Amino acid sequence: MQEWPIGVFASIDAGLGVHLDVAQELNIPSVQLHAPHGDSRNPENAKAFLAKCADAGITVTAVFGGFDGESYADIPTTVKTVGLVPEETRAARVQEMKEISDFARLLGCATVALHIGFVPQDKNSESYKGLIDCTRDLLDHIADNDQQLNLETGQETADHLLDFISEVERDNLFINFDPANMILYGTGDPIEALKKVGKYVRSIHCKDGKWAPEGERGKSWGTEVPLGEGDVGIETYLRTLQEIGYKGPLTIEREIPQDPVKQKADVGQAVSLLEELRTKVLGK
Ligand code: MG
């Protein structure tokens, strides 16, 4: 496979991604897939989806978990509702994530991924200890499926994420790096963060964003914008990916499912930008 194949975040049913047809029409050779809802995660659907992918020449490179009840309305709501951190829903979501791992296996995909949520700061808290335990339990299930788990970045600083990964002590836990999230959540300069966590980066998002005003960072959202129009610095991002030895897909993410026409146009422009920069950076 070509180094840095283009990819796009896609959905089967509901979700933030584009429909598979969009990937096909834009000649994008790989997708990360937002896992479908429970009833749809069955062998028949996996087979049908794989057949569609084969027809379109598309490879599924990761399956992302997401859960009912999650809301990204604002940062405080995200803290309360997203991932495995909220304790009321933790056990049920770990179980669902195991089922998503089983579905990914049906798709022949060795990577599952998720937003784990805002990892608690207090390492002596019951919530933190419980999160370590349930992450280990999940990773053991995922290992039985010959898979790895990539954590989406953004909700923690690079240092906090590194501490968490090392405390979990499992060799199938890695990172899906999203530079825009570092900006949107106000958790740190994305390029510095990428250098710090580089050895764990196994998949990435190509997404762009603008910082919230000084004083508001970490409290209210920055703004997601089309690739190349934000504060990430996409050429520097690609050069840093090269520096850390990343060769996997460049998966475009544009989180405006409410406007599919603009979403497709923006993804198309992102493909052109990435193809141009890939040639420039790799020299091929
Ligand atoms: Mg992302």
Give tens-digit pLDDT for 110-162. Answer: 999 999 999 999 999 999 999 999 999 999 999 999 999 999 999 999 999 99
**pLDDT, tens only, 27-38:** 999 999 999 998
Residues 179, 13, 76, 209, Cα dihedral to 10°: 30
pLDDT for the residue numbered 124? 95
Structure confidence at residue 240 (pLDDT): 98
Q: How far is the CA of 133 from the centre of ligand 1 (A)?
A: 25
Q: How far is the CA of 152 from the centre of ligand 1 (A)?
A: 6
CA of 253 to the centre of ligand 1 (A): 6
Element at 21 (helix H, strand E)? helix 20-25
User: Is 17 a residue whose pLDDT tops 90?
Assistant: no
Largest CA distance in the chain: 51
- Which residue do the tokens 């834009």 mark? 26
**pLDDT of res. 221:** 96
CATH architecture label of 6-282: Alpha-Beta Barrel (3.20)
Residue 250 alpha carbon to ligand 1 centre in Å: 12
Tens of pLDDT, residue by residue over 200-231, are 999 999 999 999 999 999 999 999 999 999 99
* pLDDT higher than 90, residue 13: no
- What is the distance in A from the centroid of ligand 1 to the CA of 215? 24
Ligand 1 geometric centre to CA of 91 (Å) = 24
Question: pLDDT band for position 18 (50/70/90)?
Answer: confident
Could you give the CA distance from residue 184 to residue 220 in angstroms, rounded to a whole number?
Answer: 8
- Rounded to the nearest angstrom, the distance between the alpha carbon of 173 and the centre of ligand 1 is 17
Q: What are the residue ranges spanned by the domains of the chain?
A: 6-282
Percent of the chain with pLDDT over 90: 93
- For residue 127, the CA-to-ligand 1 centroid distance in Å is 25
Q: Cβ(219)–Cβ(180) under 8 Å?
A: no
User: By C-alpha distance, which of 179, 160, 271, 276 is closest to 230?
Assistant: 179
How far does the centroid of ligand 1 lie from the alpha carbon of residue 53, in Å?
Answer: 22
> Does residue 12 carry a pLDDT above 90?
no
Q: How many residues are present in the chain?
A: 284
How much is the pLDDT for 2?
86
Question: Ligand 1 centroid vs 185 CA: distance in angstroms?
Answer: 12
The pLDDT value given to residue 15: 66
Read off φ and ψ for residue 48, nearest 5 degrees: -65, -40
Q: What is the pLDDT of residue 14?
A: 63
Q: What is the end-to-end Cα distance of the chain in Å, rounded?
A: 14
**Rounded to the nearest whole angstrom, what is the distance from the C-alpha of residue 205 to the centroid of ligand 1?**
5
CA–CA dist 217, 46 (Å, integer): 41
For residue 115, how far is its CA from the centre of ligand 1 (angstroms)?
Answer: 9
